[in-house]
Structure 1
Amino acid sequence: MTGSYLYNDTMSSNTSLSFGDSSLNMTDASSIQAKNDILRYTECQSIFKACLAQRYLFLIIGPILIVMSTVGNSLGIAVMRHKSLKNTATSVFIIALAVSDTVAVWTGLSRHFVYKLTEYDIRQYSVWACRFQRFFLYVALDTSPWILAAVTVERFLAVCMPQLHPAIKTAPRAWLIVLGIVVFQLGFNSHVFFNYGKQIITGDNQTEVFSCGFSSPAARKYIVIYQGYILLALYCVIPFIIMLTLNILIIKRLHKVKKSFEHRNMSIKSQRRQTRSHSLTKMLLTVTFYFILVSTPNFIYTLIQSKLLDTKNFTAQEYAQTEIIDAVCTLLLYLNHTLNFFLYCVSGRRFRKQLTSMLKCGAGTTKRGSVTYMPSQSDNHKSFELPSMEKQGTKGDAI
């Protein structure tokens, strides 16, 4: 069901909650949970200003983020598939990141947009539609931060432990790492096929049937009470600790190398490499803090909301006030998966140059039908200013 709030603000203890074919009589506490489950699954009434604000946020900002994500990530994949880059580990990670971000935005944010535009929710179409939509969304969302962590590890090895960097610097090995991340997320998120299902809530002269409810009391307990903490750890805390710790070590290493070079005569080439390394490290730190800044609010809010849904007897109007907070946190989460490509890639001067050349090549082909971009020999020997793209060789070359 995807209608508006249809129940009274008070429900008696004579309330039943069904999971699949089983039904349970509810205590007063469970009656609160049942009523709040209806609030969780149904569309916010437009008579509340907060609900209108939430609706317009998704209708206006949602399409903008979808277009930005699709265009930006598509261009990123095209550039990373250039023959001078496609055999590097960094290109593999960034292509995988672009794919996971695009899938996350299209399976998640597009659902919100369609829901607010038409009041049709694909999750309520059927039990299996609910499960598969959640499954692909959660896998895509959870894959992105671990790919970012993998990029950070690769750069750390290139700068601080170049003797170990060959273990992951090739494209085939990078694809194996990406495959391992995806397989883990597929297994971890397979719980949606067991924890989500048909849920029936019967109260004062009304019955609500949801195709995307909790499949059992144990499933409700896991999702409402425990899942938020698990996701906060796996999506935010652990990847952030990895990225922050390794970035600090990278900065210390670069600072140490810079001080050692101050007592020597540095060639222009070495100076440029040092400048590039510092610039890339700053960019990686920016991505790290941007990631935690826009991702954490959604999970903290989810933890607070889940606690309140188990204990607070919300009225429809009170719950509507939380909808605007939910919309902002959700859009921030998808903003992370929209701008990752721009923050991580477009800062490189040579990346922008290659992107410009590629776009000009396309424009020339469209106009004249016979113009083909052929990179010169010097172009093939230029490296892009991306994390972990330094030339490999001696310890100094890796920095």
Structure 2
Amino acid sequence: MYIAKQVTMLFSALLLGMSFLVIPAAAAEDIKIGVLTPLTAGAHSLGKEAVRGAKIAADYINAKGGVLGRKIKVIIEDDAGQVEKAISGFRKLTSRDKVVAIIGQIHSSNMLALIKPAENAGIPIFSTQASNVKITSSKSPNVFRTAAIDPDRAEAWVGFFQQNGFKKIGIIAENTDYGVGLVKLLKTFNKERSLGLSLKPFIFDKNSRDITPQLLQLKNWGADVVINIGVGDVAYLIVKQAYDIKLFPETPMVASFDWPSQPIFWKNLGKKGNYLTYISYGHPNQKLTAMGEWFKAEFERLYNDAPIFGASNAFGQIVMIAEAIYHAGSADPAAIMNALEDYHYDNFNGPVKFDRADGARWHQSSPPILIVQHTAEGQSLGDGTILYPPNLQTGSLTKGSR
């Protein structure tokens, strides 16, 4: 029932080279896809990038004639990074706007809270950047993800620690499914693999505006490295306050995802952000699919900057949903979900297959994970030093100085 049909290249060629109209687009109602993402509060900059990617995807598809003779229309809804607003936004998108699928989730807590509503509504929902393992290990037929999962992130951290001889690992994590889940995962890795790491985690309220007491304890403890597991504004706050007490950059700090690759990073932190290391889900020099190359060029034309992962992934998710509609011959959500399982797809960065695999690999496609360091103020991702993995390494960790 779930045997993949090898037709991805055909659809990609149709997208890139010609229309895939079936009936006149003007005669049919738009197909609506929801983008439920944070546009206010802490992670608003990530949500904004996801919206940019989704809108470019709709324009890309519609310029080729739409799908099944219908235009794609994205409906934007702000979840403000809060579970309650995510649920109310979901209800609006499904009940009033009648979307056939939803993308855009950044926060793991929100995404987890939306699994049952998605099942009840019978529509597919994509995690654009939410990474908690429970999202896909739920084995929900409605859940799909083309973003990193936390075990992959933790694997990269452990390899990086071993590469640099780090033993005393300070962790500053927000009190969310994302933050708490990563702390638990690192503890599990350390115990089950007998890594011999000394972990000192602090869980803080994600709405806190003073992390200094916890950071001072990590400084006095003599951490070899500090992991910054904050999302949005509080992640910047951790860097600023660690710099002010001379914990960072004297002690290396690793951000838990690619927010330091955004242009706003240097506007927010200036010199205080230099020497920060961070997880990245790719690199400007990596090989992209044909549609990925098109998107990168179009994004740079529109915004005079390279797209971050969240923008590229949102673009790819909208295109894959449109492709599933094409394969299904219908915009019925149940038919879309079946087609998402039955076919191979192309995302911006490579092929995707949504398998009914075990554990967190259910309906999961993972990007590559790099650890990158900024070594000069104003650097972009492409200018930074790749520290990990060893086969892609372009340099060694630079010790921070003021």
* TM-score bracket, shorter-length normalisation: under 0.3
Higher helix proportion:
1
Which structure has the highest strand share of the two? 2
Q: Which structure: larger Rg? A: 1
- Which structure is higher in RCO with an 8 Å CA cutoff and minimum separation 6? 1
Taking structure 1 as the reference length, what is the TM-score of the superposition? 0.25
